[in-house]
A and B are shown apart, each in its own frame.
Chain A
Amino acid sequence: DAKTTQPPSMDCAEGRAANLPCNHSTISGNEYVYWYRQIHSQGPQYIIHGLKNNETNEMASLIITEDRKSSTLILPHATLRDTAVYYCIVRVQETSGSRLTFGEGTQLTVNP
């Protein structure tokens, strides 16, 4: 799996957009970018994933650069409840079971 690099921490003001970067310069052509988040003392929660096109769902938007070497997760209007550790994971699509590798992620703190 491609290695990912994320900043250890970020701050964001409530109501503003939170832009979380992830570098994955060794990503292969068949590897997807996945984002999860983990609120303190809870299990991680899947947010979004993409291959090369930008993706949007009810939680967030994912912007992947044209060369696919980096991506940005965007929370358009951050709330206090978005304070969590955000994990960027690169992985091929699996046909049965999946060994995801969760690094240390980015601690996002949304401030009032």
Chain B
Amino acid sequence: AQKITQTQPGMFVQEKEAVTLDCTYDTSDPSYGLFWYKQPSSGEMIFLIYQGSYDQQNATEGRYSLNFQKARKSANLVISASQLGDSAMYFCAVGNSGYSTLTFGKGTMLLVSP
């Protein structure tokens, strides 16, 4: 069984500041992937970033980076230079190597203020 824990139900950040959204995971599979998705108020799930369990370097995609600490089973999302459009729910998910069904956390609501 897999489990994702997102301990921050809500986060506030000012525009142009960086913010870290926490995610810890539990999986018995030695090979797995970690994903972050953004869900704005429109409801659509938007893929942001992926980290494979055997990747040596932390993943980066534009303003998004993933702080992957395998021994601690943590995969925090860092958003640099926050923008008003970043206000949304953010979900962390883990998928195993057998097939790609994802297990999601309960999400963190991020609000970016001017």
Partners in one complex: no
| Chain A residues engaging chain B, CB cutoff 8 angstroms | none
